[in-house]
A = this chain, B = another copy of it.
Amino acid sequence: MLPSYDKELQSHGCKVTPQRSLILDILHESLAHTMTADEIVGLAREQQPNISAGTVYRNLNTLCELGLLKCLDSVGDGRHYELNTGHHHHLVCLGCRQRVAIDFCPMNSEVRDLAEKSGFAVEDHNFEIKGYCTKCRAGAKRSPDTNGGMI
């Protein structure tokens, strides 16, 4: 079943609008991978044809601030969004740009100490493995340099 985010929204003094719920539903449908703002606008318009891109962008930012979403960025394909569920990292396909969640996390007290030894106050971290998914592997072998070093 679809969890409702109404309570989280309201507890932040945030109104529950059809647009907001729709965005959260769309991201819930694709829990396994991330989406760009543009993809979200596209899917949202299937159900609510005149939802404005401005509204989607504004809501993505709002929902990130509330901590309901996470925003990822990586060379070559703009920002990606996902529901902020359990902590995880991603496999990023350099072909189709899809991000798929993985459970492995490299962060531990040792690494943290290393960073803090240089006066750095650690808040978060990010780990991504880049490569080619099963579907894109064939194409990748043909032209390994297609991506112009923008790995």
Residues of A within 8 A of B (CB): 61, 64-67, 69-76, 79, 91, 93-94, 100, 102, 104, 106-107, 111, 114-115, 118-134, 137, 140, 145, 148-151
On whether the beta carbons of A150 and B64 are closer than 8 Å, the reply is yes
Complex CA gap A102/B116 in Å reads: 12
Q: Which residues of B contact A133 (CB under 8 A)?
A: 119-120
Complex CA gap A115/B140 in Å reads: 17
Complex CA gap A150/B57 in Å reads: 13
Q: From known contacts A65-B149, A91-B115, infer whether A127 and B130 are also in contact, taking CB-CB under 8 Å.
A: no
Determine which of B123, B129, B131, B132 lies in contact with A151 in the assembled complex, contact meaning CB atoms within 8 Å: B123
On whether the beta carbons of A73 and B74 are closer than 8 Å, the reply is yes
Determine which of B106, B130, B148 lies in contact with A123 in the assembled complex, contact meaning CB atoms within 8 Å: B130
On whether the beta carbons of B123 and A64 are closer than 8 Å, the reply is no
On whether the beta carbons of A129 and B122 are closer than 8 Å, the reply is yes
Complex CA gap A126/B91 in Å reads: 10
On whether the beta carbons of B94 and A123 are closer than 8 Å, the reply is yes
Determine which of B100, B115, B120, B128 lies in contact with A125 in the assembled complex, contact meaning CB atoms within 8 Å: B128
Determine which of B118, B122, B125, B148 lies in contact with A64 in the assembled complex, contact meaning CB atoms within 8 Å: B148
Complex CA gap A104/B116 in Å reads: 13
Q: Which residues of B contact A123 (CB under 8 A)?
A: 94, 130-132, 151
On whether the beta carbons of A73 and B71 are closer than 8 Å, the reply is no
Q: From known contacts A149-B64, A150-B64, A150-B71, infer whether A122 and B126 are also in contact, taking CB-CB under 8 Å.
A: no
